[in-house]
Amino acid sequence: MEFNNLVVEISKPIGIVTVNRPKVLNALNLETVGELGAAFSWLESTSDVRAIILTGSGEKAFVAGADITEFRGKTAPDMLPFARKGHDVARIMESMGKPIIAAVNGYALGGGCEMAMACDIRFAAETARFGQPEIMLGLIPGMGGTQRLARLVGLGIARELVYGGEQITAQRAFEIGLVNRVFPVEQLMDETRKFALKLASMPSHALKMAKQATNYGYDQSLDNGLMLETQCFAQCWSHPDLEEGVAAFLEKRKADFHTG
């Protein structure tokens, strides 16, 4: 698939999506948002791909937010479809069966921080910076930042970041639970690839069930979440991977999982 603003590579079994607008620190214009949706949908349907990495091109930025040049002269009705499109992309990322890891190589601000939060797992370079600076533009986050940030780091810290607009370091992002691991910048992609390969080697149906149970269960009451978990747990029996995993354990050998 060809894109104007992304580089999408497949290095089996990993798909790598790189936002590629380095002159504007990979800011997301409307076209890029649409391309991201198309890229993730395509990778979901590509059977050779079992885990996905999202990163930004160049040395400075993951994604520095929405493209502010597209804001001028717009009205509220103009911007509603833009925000909806951003939400749709994040929901595609969260509802797809394959895990997505953000390799945050620099600024992850505004929509960039929100894109990273829509990923399953976030790894960051020590030099990365996170933040929701929209308030400084007279704006608020519009791609899930007011919701996903609180779910990840708690309401108090989310308010501090959304109201105050300050950037935080990768180390601080790690301390508050916004990122999973921090690496020296030169190790970031290797470490992310290593982890993506580990996930790609897992039985894909069980991984999909784990993603569904954690993502959809999180917003439910405990009882509803547990009901969802029960369904996902039982569904594991509908796939040959479980029989193979159990047999391999009992026969003291390495499991040979089905890869579909």
Would you count residue 33 as binding ligand CO8 (CB under 6 A)? Answer: yes
Stretch that binds ligand CO8, among 40-48, 78-86, 148-156, 236-244 (CB under 6 A): 78-86
Would you count residue 62 as binding ligand CO8 (CB under 6 A)? Answer: no
Rounded to the nearest 5°, which phi and psi values hold at 177?
Answer: 90, 10
Would you count residue 82 as binding ligand CO8 (CB under 6 A)? Answer: yes
Would you count residue 67 as binding ligand CO8 (CB under 6 A)? Answer: yes
Would you count residue 79 as binding ligand CO8 (CB under 6 A)? Answer: no
Query: Are 10 and 46 spatial neighbours (Cβ–Cβ below 8 Å)?
Result: yes
* Residue among 94, 114, 175, 229 flagged as catalytic: 114
Rounded to the nearest angstrom, the gap between the alpha carbon of residue 27 and the centroid of all alpha carbons in its chain is 16
- What is d(CA 55, CA 51) in angstroms, rounded to the nearest whole number? 14
Task: Compute how many other C-beta atoms are within 10 angstroms of the C-beta atom of residue 50.
Answer: 23
Stretch that binds ligand CO8, among 37-45, 67-75, 214-222, 251-259 (CB under 6 A): 67-75
Question: Pick from 13, 56, 133, 203: which binds ligand CO8 (CB under 6 A)?
Answer: 133
Query: Are 232 and 209 spatial neighbours (Cβ–Cβ below 8 Å)?
Result: yes
Would you count residue 213 as binding ligand CO8 (CB under 6 A)? Answer: no
Whichever of 67 and 94 has its CB closer to ligand CO8, that residue is: 67
Whichever of 99 and 110 has its CB closer to ligand CO8, that residue is: 110
Query: Are 119 and 148 spatial neighbours (Cβ–Cβ below 8 Å)?
Result: no
Whichever of 62 and 257 has its CB closer to ligand CO8, that residue is: 62
Would you count residue 10 as binding ligand CO8 (CB under 6 A)? Answer: no
Would you count residue 134 as binding ligand CO8 (CB under 6 A)? Answer: yes
Query: How many chain residues touch ligand CO8 (CB under 6 A)?
Result: 25
Is 134 an annotated catalytic residue?
yes
Query: Are 19 and 56 spatial neighbours (Cβ–Cβ below 8 Å)?
Result: yes
Q: How many Cα neighbours within 13 Å face the side chain of 95? A: 8
Smallest distance from ligand CO8 to CB 229, Å:
31
What is the helix (H) or strand (E) element at residue 84, kind and residue range?
helix 76-95
Contacts of 49 (CB under 8 A, 6+ apart): 10, 12, 13, 14, 15, 43, 98
Query: Are 38 and 78 spatial neighbours (Cβ–Cβ below 8 Å)?
Result: no
**DSSP label at 5?**
S
Smallest distance from ligand CO8 to CB 74, Å:
12
Question: Pick from 17, 64, 161, 209: which binds ligand CO8 (CB under 6 A)?
Answer: 64
Would you count residue 170 as binding ligand CO8 (CB under 6 A)? Answer: no
> 13 preceded by cis ω (within 30°)?
yes
Known catalytic residues are 114, 134
Would you tell me which residues interact with ligand CO8 (CB under 6 A)?
24-25, 27-28, 33, 64-69, 82-83, 86, 107, 109-111, 133-134, 137, 139, 141-143
